[in-house]
Each structure stands twice: as structure tokens, then as C-alpha cells.
Amino acid sequence: MSLDFALKDFYRKREISFPYLFMVILVIAATTFLIYLTTSTGLNSFIIYEFENPYFFSGGISIIYTNYSILIVSLMIGLAFIIVIIISSTLIVSKKRDIAIMRALGSIPRKLYGYYLTEIYLIFLIGFIIGFIIGLLSFGIFALISSSLGASVFFKFDYFYTLILFISCLGGIFIIPGYMLRKFGNQKIIKSFSKEIPYDYDARKGLTFIPKWLSKIGYNFKISIVNTLRRKGEFKRYLFVFSTITLIIFTLALGILVLGSSSREWVNKSQGDNIVAIGHKDVISNYTLMYNMFSNPNIIVDSNSIDFLKPEYLFNTSDIEELYNLTEIDLIDERLIFFSDAEELYGTHCYEDGTCISVGQQRSGKFPIVGINSTKFIHDFEIEGRFFNDSDSHVYMVIGDGLAYNFFDYALDQSMLLEDLNHSFHPCGVVIDSFYCGYTGYIDIEIFRNELHLSNENINLLLLKYESGSYITLKSNLETILNSTLGSEFTFINLDLTFDTNLAYITNISLYPTFLIVIMAVISVLSVYNYHKGGVIEKAKDFLIMRAIGSKFRSLRRILFLETLYVLIPSIILSLGIGMILNSIVLFDRVHLPHISIPFIIMGILLGVFLLLNFLGLFPVIKKIKKNFSIKDFEIY
């Protein structure tokens, strides 16, 4: 019986039900698309990805982006929850008169509760299923387009976020709209005939300071203030909606400006530019792939791929002394690289309150270790801590962020045993590194040579930083020198192309918030329009009376504009405050801080955009008023 009634009432009042259903479909589709977009970019921390490269995107940048994505997805799920609850609540308010009539005819309140709650669940379930399918199809189209452009897109079914969204909406509908139904069912019948305007509203009640001050500005302000105070329930509902929308857009916009630029800067600093690598063909080939691992989950280089310490891969710096005389070269970085078995050692971590705990799980693995001369090091890493120097290089090492966040509990409080060198080092610095996804250790090259009993001139890799614009000349000189000294098995490569690929990957990841801003813009337009449209029916009498005494449509448009403005301004102020707190927790602890004016500029732009949407959204509403409302509407409304 309840389902039959719900289906008939849903179709009978389809001019009201369909717009609500459309909003549910839209917000569920947008949230589903976002969930699977997050999954496809490898930022869903609740899914285990089975990549050929197990280290893919798991370092410090990944942690920041993952936390950022969790925040955005959580806010989006919150928005979907709020919109579903508000739509359900608004639908219940629109049914107050029907409930009153049915109660007057003898319907049992408990039966009415079942009828209308079933109708709300029907709208939600239809909207959720259609929205979920549209969201998946939209992501499928997005994935096809991305794949055609060469971007890697992964698809895995999400059970965590989708279930949270579905269960939270189910529970929210039962609690909030269900409470409203029970409340209306127990009210006196005469009181149930009022909708948004409370039955006990007293127009003689004096205004508080701010509304009283605004109402004195002019006639339109006064009417808009009165309408807002009469419809407090609607005002509060849309305040939640617009606050959440502006909070999401603010976080997305700040993420584009801050997170994108910071991560590009970190990767660029770890790679550099105008760098040439020299070594044996096998070494150079694998060394390049070890950088490519940062942006390609299908590439893996390990100790089975190459033994960097083969005698034929080693050469002496004295063999290529001519390189030191080339004017195109700014800096020469001599290196030794090989894979070493590593073991995490226990350490002691102390908190700010003075309590200390033992940390470490004796993890083990095989990672690339690079011997460097810290005074001739080319790269300018983003570092937490410091680099070792000549006086303490036998004790300290520097590790990449991949090792720091996945191999250690507290990297700077522990040590690592390099079993092949039979030497333990204490990390004194953690760098954000794109080489081998950050699973790299850097030690002093002399310690390296001594432990492996190599010559003081032995290296297997040489990096050159050349002057900008001089590569063509340098290339010719390198070909001549290498052929005459090291032979045809040794070669060189300009790493700029490999580095550009990694930067392009970061750029693609940074486009993630841009897609979401477009989605939020669509939801914003529809929310503003629905706010106007939702109040038009109940305001029909007011508008007809105002028209009868000579008010122009221009005056009605201004009143509606001001009513929305009263919702937008506090929403933006709330979202600015909450957004700064959330972003400071998730982003600002790690990224380069923007100028203090940036958040306010973003909010100013948001306010301007919303005001424009508010203005444009009035035209179809006013057109509807002109077309549909006449004196006969007094009998209906």
C-alpha cells in the first residue's frame, strides 16, 4: 500500500517530484565521478593497487595529494548528504497541506509516516541508481578520452566511499525527514496547513539590529528581509548547501594554486634541468627508467634488471679529464650507484611532552644506494633535516621520501643497515625525490668506495650540468671525447625529456581539482536556480498583491536577488573560516604558503561569480512568474 501510494503521488505531483529527483541524480552522479576519478589517479588510500611498480606514487607528494583527495571526497560526500537531506526535507514541507487534509479525513499518522517516507526513499533510490550509472558512464568517457591522450587511467570498483554515501543518506533520511514527518503527523491539523512560513510567525515582532538596519535602506531591502525571516527553515537549509559548495570550491581553487605549484617545484628541484648523464649503455638505460618509475606504474627496475657494479660498467674519472675543460659545463657530479639489501633498525622517538617510545619494525628490502660528493651535488632537493658533510658522512645518510614514509616509522629517529656495505647509517635528512619513486639512499662516495674496496676514482655514473642553450655544442664534444676514451659501449643522454615527463604527470594530477570545479559550477548554478524557484510558489500571493498595488517586475527581481544574497554572504564567510582551518591541517603544514591575500582573492572571485549566477538565475524565474501566475492562483496557493 505504501509503495503504491508513493508511486502514484510521485507521478501525480511530478512537476515537484521530478526537479527534486533531478538534483539527487546530479549530485550522486557528480560524487560518483569524483570517487572514481580519485581512484583512477591512485589517490584512494582505501584501495590496494596492484601495479607492476610497487613503489609507484607512494612518497611525500602522494601523501599530500591523498590527504587532499580524502578531504575533497569527504566534503563532496557531505554535500551530497546535505542536498539529499535538504531535498527530502523540502519535499516533506511541500506535503504538509496534503498531510493535514489526509489527517482531517481520518488517516492514521503512523500510516502517513509510512506513505511519505516510502516516497522519499523511492526518489532517493531512483536518483541514486540513475546517478551512480551516469557517474560511471561519465568516468568511462573521461577514461577513454584520457587514454587517447596518453594518460594512464585505472579502474577499480570502490566499495568504501560509495557505501558511506549510500548508508549515510539512508540513515539521514530516516532521522531528519523522518523526524519532520513524525512532528507534522502529531501537530494540530490547522497548524499543518502552513508550509515554509511557521504557523506561529508574528509579523509584529521587532527586528534585530542588522535586519533593522538593512530594512531601512529601501523598500526592496525591507521586503527581502521580511521574506527571509518568515522562511527561516529554507534559509538554514540553503545556508548549509551554499556553505558546503563554497567550501569545496575554495579548497579546490586553493589546491590548484598551492598544491600544484608546490609539487611541481619539489619535483623540479629533485630533478633539475640542463643535465646530461654519462655511463655505460646499460647503466644509462636503467638509470633513465628509474626516473620514469615516478610517472609510470608499469616500469620497474630492480637488482634482477642490472648489477650496477659489474667491472665493465665502472670507469675512472681520470679517463675523461677532458670533460673538466669544457666551458659549456657548470658542474660535474661523480656518482656510484648500486642495489643494496637494507634493514630498518630500531630507534627512539620522543614526543613534545617528553615521553619516548621505541620505534621500528625491522623491515627489509633492496633499494638503490647512490654514492655522491655532497660538495658537488647537482640537485637542490626539498629537504626535511639536512645533508651530511665531510666530517659526519661516515655516520649519516640522506634518504628519499618513499623510504622515509614507507620503510620507517620515524625516519629521522632511526637507522638503516646497508648489508652489502656492512655499515649502518642514521638518516639526517629526508628529500622529496622523483628518482626510484623516492626509495633511494644517498651516502658519501668515499665511504662507498672504501666499503666495497673500489679505486678512489671508480664511478659508474657521471652527471653534467651544462649552461642553458649550449647543448648542441656540448653534444658534439661529448661524442668525440667518449668515443676516444671510454669506447662505443659508453654513451650519454639528456635527462630533460625524462624530467619533463615526470613534470607532465604532476601537471595532470594537478588538473584533478579543475575538473571538480567545473562539476561544482554546474551544481552551484542549479542550486541558485532552485533556491529562487523553490520559494516562488509559496510567494505567489505576495507577488500578486505587490503587482496589484503597482510593483514592477524589476522590483520583484531585486527582492529575489537580495534574498539569495543574504544566504551567499554568510555562506562565503563560513566557508572561508572553515576552509582555512581544514587546508591548514591538510596542506599548509607541507606546501609553500601563498600570500595571505590569496584566500581572500579567491573568496572575492567566488562572491562575484555567485552574484552573477544569482542575477542570471532570476531571468527564468521571473519569466515563470510572468507566464504562470495570475489572480486565479489565490485559489490554489
353 and 405 fall within a common domain? yes
Q: Please tell me whether residue 233 adopts helix, strand or coil conformation.
A: helix
pLDDT band, very low/low/confident/very high, at 525 (cuts 50, 70, 90): low
Higher pLDDT, 391 or 624: 391
Contacts of 93 (CB under 8 A, 6+ apart): 180, 195, 196, 233
Task: Give the burial class of 12: count Cβ atoms within 10 A of its Cβ; 0-12 exposed, 13-18 middle, 19 or more buried.
Answer: exposed
pLDDT band, very low/low/confident/very high, at 637 (cuts 50, 70, 90): very low
Other C-beta atoms closer than 10 Å to the C-beta of 237 total 23
Residue 484 lies in a domain: no
Residue 512 near residue 37, CB atoms below 8 Å = yes
390 and 539 fall within a common domain? no
- What is the tally of structural domains in the chain? 3
Lowest mean pLDDT among 105-109, 271-275, 435-439, 581-585: 105-109
Residue 481 lies in a domain: no
Question: What number of helices (H) and strands (E) belong to the chain?
Answer: 20, 14
Task: Quickly tell me which residue has 496589484 as its cell.
Answer: 548
Output the pLDDT for position 326: 84
Joined together, the cell numbers standing for residue 81 give: 548528504
Output the pLDDT for position 43: 67
pLDDT in tens, 420-439: 888 899 999 999 999 999 99
The sign of the CA dihedral 189, 192, 193, 199 is: positive
Asked whether residue 287 carries a pLDDT value surpassing 90, the answer given is yes
Residue 188 near residue 87, CB atoms below 8 Å = no
> What's the average model confidence in pLDDT over 486-511?
85
Asked whether residue 631 carries a pLDDT value surpassing 50, the answer given is no
Residue 490 lies in a domain: no
Residue 525 lies in a domain: yes
Output the pLDDT for position 189: 57
259 and 341 fall within a common domain? no
pLDDT in tens, 308-323: 999 999 988 888 888 8
376 and 444 fall within a common domain? yes
Asked whether residue 288 carries a pLDDT value surpassing 90, the answer given is yes
Higher pLDDT, 489 or 544: 489
Lowest mean pLDDT among 21-30, 103-112, 411-420, 592-601: 103-112
Residue 474 lies in a domain: no
Q: Please tell me whether residue 365 adopts helix, strand or coil conformation.
A: strand
- Length of the chain, please? 637
Phi and psi angles of residue 602, each rounded to the nearest 5 degrees, phi first: -60, -45
Other C-beta atoms closer than 10 Å to the C-beta of 189 total 12
Output the pLDDT for position 416: 93
Q: Residue 336 forms beta bridges with which residues?
A: 371
282 and 246 fall within a common domain? no
The percent of residues above 70 in pLDDT, for the chain, comes to 75
Joined together, the cell numbers standing for residue 473 give: 655544442
563 and 632 fall within a common domain? yes
Final residue before a domain boundary, out of 195, 214, 248: 195
Asked whether residue 635 carries a pLDDT value surpassing 50, the answer given is no
pTM metric for this prediction: 0.76
> What's the average model confidence in pLDDT over 569-581?
80
Asked whether residue 407 carries a pLDDT value surpassing 80, the answer given is yes
Higher pLDDT, 176 or 619: 176
* Closest C-alpha among 469, 443, 500, 479 to residue 330: 469
The sign of the CA dihedral 220, 226, 230, 231 is: positive
145 and 17 fall within a common domain? yes
Output the pLDDT for position 531: 53
Residue 477 lies in a domain: no
Residue 26 near residue 131, CB atoms below 8 Å = yes
**Over the Cα atoms of the chain, what is R_g?**
33
Q: What is the mean pLDDT of the chain?
A: 79
Residue 606 lies in a domain: yes
pLDDT in tens, 129-153: 999 999 889 888 877 877 776 666 6
251 and 295 fall within a common domain? no
> What's the average model confidence in pLDDT over 564-591?
75
522 and 600 fall within a common domain? yes
Contacts of 11 (CB under 8 A, 6+ apart): 17
Final residue before a domain boundary, out of 195, 230, 252: 195
Lowest mean pLDDT among 30-44, 281-295, 340-354: 30-44
Higher pLDDT, 603 or 310: 310
> What's the average model confidence in pLDDT over 358-372?
91
Residue 129 lies in a domain: yes
pLDDT band, very low/low/confident/very high, at 606 (cuts 50, 70, 90): confident
Asked whether residue 539 carries a pLDDT value surpassing 60, the answer given is no
CA separation for the pair 442, 428 (Å, rounded): 11
pLDDT band, very low/low/confident/very high, at 634 (cuts 50, 70, 90): very low
594 and 621 fall within a common domain? yes
516 and 583 fall within a common domain? yes
Question: Where is mean pLDDT largest: 520-534, 592-606, 619-633?
Answer: 592-606
pLDDT in tens, 179-200: 777 776 666 655 555 555 555 5
Domain coverage including residue 374: 275-467
pLDDT band, very low/low/confident/very high, at 30 (cuts 50, 70, 90): confident
Joined together, the cell numbers standing for residue 546 give: 505587490
pLDDT band, very low/low/confident/very high, at 292 (cuts 50, 70, 90): very high
Final residue before a domain boundary, out of 169, 195, 221: 195
pLDDT band, very low/low/confident/very high, at 533 (cuts 50, 70, 90): low
> What's the average model confidence in pLDDT over 521-525?
69
Higher pLDDT, 222 or 379: 379
191 and 202 fall within a common domain? no
Task: Give the burial class of 473: count Cβ atoms within 10 A of its Cβ; 0-12 exposed, 13-18 middle, 19 or more buried.
Answer: middle
CA separation for the pair 110, 307 (Å, rounded): 77
